[in-house]
């Protein structure tokens, strides 16, 4: 069977990406929610929220694991940062 190609569009703002130094992940029976946050005390801001199915979350995990392995083969082991201090996170809407 011939591989089907799907054209993907991306606007300039999205193509620029956002920086995240904190991720908060939650889930329900039907979905995973990933909040990507830029935290600069005394506050932080959610720059992106991705909501996805459990099966896609699992595929995402595998893809991230594979990419980390490829990165480390090319550039060496990634040094793990120390665990940040535990702090409460409170979401507020503007």
Q: What is the pLDDT of residues 29-51, one digit of tens each?
A: 999 999 999 999 888 999 999 99
Count how many domains the chain has. Answer: 1
Length of the chain in terms of residues written: 94
Q: Considering the entire predicted model, what is its pTM?
A: 0.81
Concatenating the DSSP letter of every residue in 28-69 gives -SS-EEEEEEEEETTEEEEEEEEEE-HHHHHHHHHHHHHHHH
Query: Domain for residue 89, yes or no?
Result: no
Decide if 21 is inside a domain.
yes
How far are the Cα atoms of 6, 58 from residue 3, in angstroms, in the given order? 10, 23
pLDDT of residue 81: 83
Domain residues for 51?
17-75
**1 in a domain, yes or no?**
no
Q: Is 26 a domain residue? A: yes
In a domain, 2, yes or no: no
Measured CA to CA, the distance from residue 53 to residue 28 in angstroms comes to 10
52 has a pLDDT exceeding 80: yes
50: in domain: yes
The predicted-structure confidence for 58-77, as pLDDT tens digits, reads as follows: 999 999 999 999 999 999 99
């Amino acid at each position: 069977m011939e591989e089907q190609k799907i054209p993907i569009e991306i606007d300039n703002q999205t193509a620029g990406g956002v920086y995240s130094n904190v991720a908060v992940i939650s889930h329900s029976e039907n979905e995973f929610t990933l909040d990507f946050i830029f935290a600069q005390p005394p506050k932080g801001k959610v720059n992106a929220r991705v909501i996805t199915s459990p099966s896609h979350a699992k595929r995402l995990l595998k893809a991230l694991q594979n990419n980390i392995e490829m990165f480390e083969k090319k550039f060496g082991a990634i040094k793990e940062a120390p665990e940040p201090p535990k702090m409460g996170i409170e979401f507020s809407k503007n």
